[in-house]
Amino acid sequence: MTQAILNLTHVSVQFGAHVALRDVQLSVQPGERVALVGANGSGKSTLLRVAHGLLPTSKGQVQANPGARQAMVFQRPHMLRTSVLRFVVWGLWLQGVPWGQAHTLAAQALQRVGLQDVAQRSARTLSGGQQQRLALARAWALQPDVLLLDEPTSSLDPHAKRDVERLVAEWVSASQATLLFSSHNLGQVKRLATRVVYLEAGRVLADLPADHFFNQALVHSHPQAHLFLKGELV
- Class level of CATH domain 6-69+146-151+166-230: alpha beta
Q: Note the Cα 215 to chain centre separation in Å.
A: 24
Rounded Cα gap, residues 24 and 125, in angstroms: 40
pTM of the model: 0.89
Share of the chain above pLDDT 90, in %: 61
Which tens digit of pLDDT belongs to each residue from 197-220? 999 999 999 999 999 898 866 766
Q: What local confidence, expressed as pLDDT, does residue 222 receive?
A: 81
Q: What local confidence, expressed as pLDDT, does residue 224 receive?
A: 83
What's the pLDDT band for 112 if we cut at 50, 70, 90? confident
Rounded Cα gap, residues 53 and 72, in angstroms: 10
Rounded Cα gap, residues 132 and 23, in angstroms: 32
Which tens digit of pLDDT belongs to each residue from 18-29? 999 999 999 999
Q: What local confidence, expressed as pLDDT, does residue 161 receive?
A: 86
Per-residue DSSP letter, 3: P
Q: What local confidence, expressed as pLDDT, does residue 172 receive?
A: 87
Which tens digit of pLDDT belongs to each residue from 36-86? 999 999 999 999 999 999 999 999 999 998 889 999 998 888 888 899 999
Query: Cα 101–103–108 angle (5° rounding)?
Result: 100
Q: What is the C-alpha end-to-end distance of the chain, expressed in Å? A: 39
pLDDT at 184 over 60: yes
Element (H, E) at 207: strand 203-209
The mean predicted confidence, pLDDT, of the chain is 90
- What is the gyration radius of the CA atoms in the chain, in angstroms? 18
Q: What local confidence, expressed as pLDDT, does residue 78 receive?
A: 86
Q: What local confidence, expressed as pLDDT, does residue 163 receive?
A: 85
Cα–Cα distance list, 217 to 66, 181, 198, 225 (Å): 38, 24, 15, 11
Q: What local confidence, expressed as pLDDT, does residue 219 receive?
A: 61
| Ordered alpha helix ranges (H), the chain | 44-51, 84-94, 99-112, 128-141, 158-175, 186-192, 210-213, 218-221, 223-230
